[in-house]
Structure 1
Amino acid sequence: MEERRGSTEIADFGGISTPAPGLAIAFMIAMLASIGLPTLCNFIGEYLVLQGAAITKFSWAVWAALGVILSAVYMLWMYQRTFWGKTTEKTAALSDLNLREWAPLLPLIALMVWLGTYTQSFMPPITAATSRLLDQTSMNNEYRVQVIPPPTIPVMEARNAR
């Protein structure tokens, strides 16, 4: 979008969905995945983090949920101001996505949906790895500090020998 418009300021955009509806749709899908909409890739991650935080310490889950809500608010706010509203002169000249740009986007969108819909296909390896990690960290809850003396410097040893 920066290449097409020449700016990264949200105020310089507006109404992009009129001249570039394909860009608006692709961006909306990526934005909704980033927010953690169910059936898209980030939902399961947000859910598992919130569940783990609630089990460990409920106040952490409250703060994490607040972060999820605030991220959804700012993403939707940015999308509304960038893609909707009155089309400016400069945004009216924007071109929509071409075939070269759709080619990498379509597999990524399909991957977003697959990761959000068929979560169980990749959870067993993750569960195995995390359970081993949890076993290692929960075996010994004591923290031990070992003080290691600094290495001696040969030059200093030679001076002290005199």
Structure 2
Amino acid sequence: METAKKAKFINYLYSHFKLKENNTNIKTEILAGLTTYITMAYALLVIPNILKFAGINSSGVVGDAAEQLSILNDPVIASLFTATCIASAIGTLIMALYANLPFALAPAIGLAAFFTYNVCMTMGYTWQQGLAAIFISGLLFIAITLTSIRQKIIECLPENIKIAITGGIGLFV
């Protein structure tokens, strides 16, 4: 890269991400990003291996029968791995480039475990039925957000409940 183009690119990074205002630099941000990625990368392998027990595998087997299946020997589980990678990359890029916030987003291991072990294995729903319920709840959440009902619910909560919820989520994480 030419020196002028390189300088222009570096100036763009500093201005777009407000690095000087936040007392940081490109090297620090790259190291922080790599650290965050390494910290959450385990989810890329764990989530497909949890979901395989829900029956999301080429054999359609649920529970312990799926134990021997893996990313290496089952194309459906390999597809789950790919989908987890793509969802993580897209979510993180949207947070970085659009929202300009330093948050990495990835599918949640706890929710994958709840989906597999409670919804599919304990309650007996198929993984297709479980995903349909998740899709419908997502549509409802979008509707609640677009109609400002969500904001009204938040405004109705007393301040101490808001603080307790935040603290509880922090302790849970």
- TM-score using structure 2 length: 0.27
**Which structure would you say has the larger Rg?**
1
Greater relative contact order structure (CA < 8 Å, 6+ sep)? 1
